[in-house]
Amino acid sequence: MEFQASRSFAESMDRRDPLREYRDYFSIPTQGGREVVYLCGNSLGLCPVKAMDYVQQELERWQRLGVWGYFHSPRPWVGYEEPLLGMLAEIVGAEVEEVAMMHTLSTNLHLLLLSFYRPTARRFKILIEHNPFPTDRYALVSQLRLHKIDAAEALVELTPRKGEFVLRSEDILEAIEELGPSLALVFMQGVHYHTGQCFEMEKIATAAHQAGSMVGFDLAHAVGNVPLRLHKWEVDFAVWCSYKYLNGGPAAVGGHLSTKNTA
Ligand SMILES: Cc1ncc(COP(=O)(O)O)c(C=O)c1O
């Protein structure tokens, strides 16, 4: 099939889309009385049609049960995440015991870095991609400060080749190999928030481990968007939010994965 930049081609692709029916599961905003073409799931996913009913049910239970809602409700609030973990594990390609739903992406990142970034005098560098998400950089710099390590020396930012906008996989793998014994952590986005580049996570994870480094991913723009096999790829840890492609709603609880016990 050849791509054509025409309305009829787009409509024929829509008709063939196996996910077509799911469109009706979401409320699509309107402007001037017409449904918009919503391309902002990278910022905030659409509201599922059922969300209003679910929220209303919980508010009614809170009114009716007060503190008993924690335990004596059809969906007890203590352990609210338990029914969701199976689905979440499937989305990120992990075991149920490896995933958790809590906090925000940035809070989870701070917590996981405490476990997974264990610098030594020799192995202390962190490899990140050019133009990382600003809050990720703050979290990484704050970890370095905690360990009294100079970010200018330790934070290695990979830039695309001159005249190019995205990173080549071979350059990422080469940088990992070169940093080798000084590398403590490779931390990258699964899908870059700015360029949309989907990184070859499996290859990056393998190369990081070969270099003796930990590897983690910010999956804010990957979770619910691209296929993930975090367990198979042996990713050590990952963090994500659920208000983008998981359609959890503004300020929805984030999630994380950790496949190793670092205790
Ligand atoms: C790539 C990326 N990382 C991190 C964050 C920060 O997430 P939060 O503010 O939910 O912690 C965002 C938020 O948009 C993001 O897009």
Cα 213 to Cα 206: distance, rounded to the nearest angstrom? 10
Say how many Å lie between the CA of residue 245 and the centre of ligand 1. Answer: 12
Number of neighbours of residue 177 by Cβ within 10 angstroms? 13
Give the pLDDT confidence score for residue 1 in this predicted structure. 80
- Ligand 1 site, CB within 6 A: 104-106, 133, 135-136, 189, 193, 218, 220-221, 241, 254
Residues of 55-78 as b/e, b for ≥16 C-beta within 10 angstroms?
eeebeebeeeeeeebeeebeeeee
Say how many Å lie between the CA of residue 243 and the centre of ligand 1. Answer: 10
Give the pLDDT confidence score for residue 263 in this predicted structure. 62
| Atom of ligand 1 at shortest range from CA of 254 | 10
Cα 30 to Cα 253: distance, rounded to the nearest angstrom? 27
Say how many Å lie between the CA of residue 4 and the centre of ligand 1. Answer: 35
Q: First CA to last CA across the chain, in angstroms?
A: 52
Burial of 92 (0-12, 13-18, 19+ CB in 10 A): buried
Give the pLDDT confidence score for residue 101 in this predicted structure. 96
| Atom of ligand 1 at shortest range from CA of 189 | 1
Q: For residues 236 and 258, is the Cβ–Cβ distance under 8 A? A: yes
- The pick from 43, 102, 103, 105 for probing ligand 1's pocket by mutation, whose C-beta has the most ligand atoms within 8 angstroms, reads 105
Q: Which residues of the chain have pLDDT under 70?
A: 261-263
**Top-tier CATH class for 82-258:** alpha beta
Give the pLDDT confidence score for residue 262 in this predicted structure. 66
Question: What is the phi/psi pair of residue 208, to 5°?
Answer: -60, -45
Q: Which position has the token pair 């692709």?
A: 13
Q: What residue spans in the chain does CATH classification 3.40.640.10 cover?
A: 82-258
